[in-house]
Amino acid sequence: MKKSATAERLQGLFFGVIFGFLLQKGGATKYDVIIGQLLLYDFTVVKIMLSAVITGMIGIHWLRRQGWITFTPKAGSWGKNLLGGLIFGVGFALLGYCPGTIAGAVGNGSLDALIGGLPGILLGSALLAAVYPKLKTGILKKGDFGAMTLPQLLNMSEWAVILPLAAFLIFILCWIEAAGL
């Protein structure tokens, strides 16, 4: 049975609030924690994101295998990665927040995120929307690799990639924790 658009939006809002709450509880919405990550002395953000990658990677593939969701990755390209990385990196360097942590920081009452970050996201989104028609036939097409997952790229069973990758990421998390980072 197909969910209504309203139900999907409410579900997205619910999970977005949960995600924001967890980011805030983990400390990833604090400017000092993010700057500490950028200066390589506080690895809280890496620990949160690696935990999310492991959980999401296993969870999505398990839910798909149960038939509870449809997994349809978006097509990618080196041009999309380059442009997106540049936009993300410039915004991160200028303000010290990423889009998710800006929302959490605004919720925490952070004025720099509210006054600088939120308008920056809105302005950047509007600018991208304005130039997107030109970009989609230009740089965004460069190095197109389609809608491919890592197991498809490696021509391997999804679990033959996911489980060793999850184990490797857990090892990295344990090493970071043991190193006191």
- Whether 172 shows a pLDDT value over 80: the answer reads yes
Under the banding of pLDDT at 50, 70 and 90, the label for residue 130 is very high
- Whether 1 shows a pLDDT value over 60: the answer reads no
Looking at the DSSP bridge assignments, the partners of residue 136 are none
82-109: pLDDT as tens digits: 998 998 888 887 888 887 788 888 888 8
The HSE-up count of residue 87 (CA atoms within 13 Å, CB side) is 14
CA 54 – CA 63 distance, rounded (Å): 14
Element holding 145 (H helix, E strand): strand 144-146
Asked whether 126 and 133 are in contact (CB, 8 A), the reply is: no
Which pLDDT score is estimated for 20?
79
Q: What mean pLDDT do residues 34-61 have?
A: 89
Phi/psi class of residue 96: alpha, beta or left (left: φ > 0; alpha: ψ in -120 to 50)? left
Chain mean pLDDT for the chain: 87
Under the banding of pLDDT at 50, 70 and 90, the label for residue 30 is confident
CA 175 – CA 170 distance, rounded (Å): 9
b/e code 70-107 from CB counts within 10 Å (16+ = b): eeeeeebbebbeebeeeeeeebeeebbbbbebbbbbbb
Which pLDDT score is estimated for 175?
94
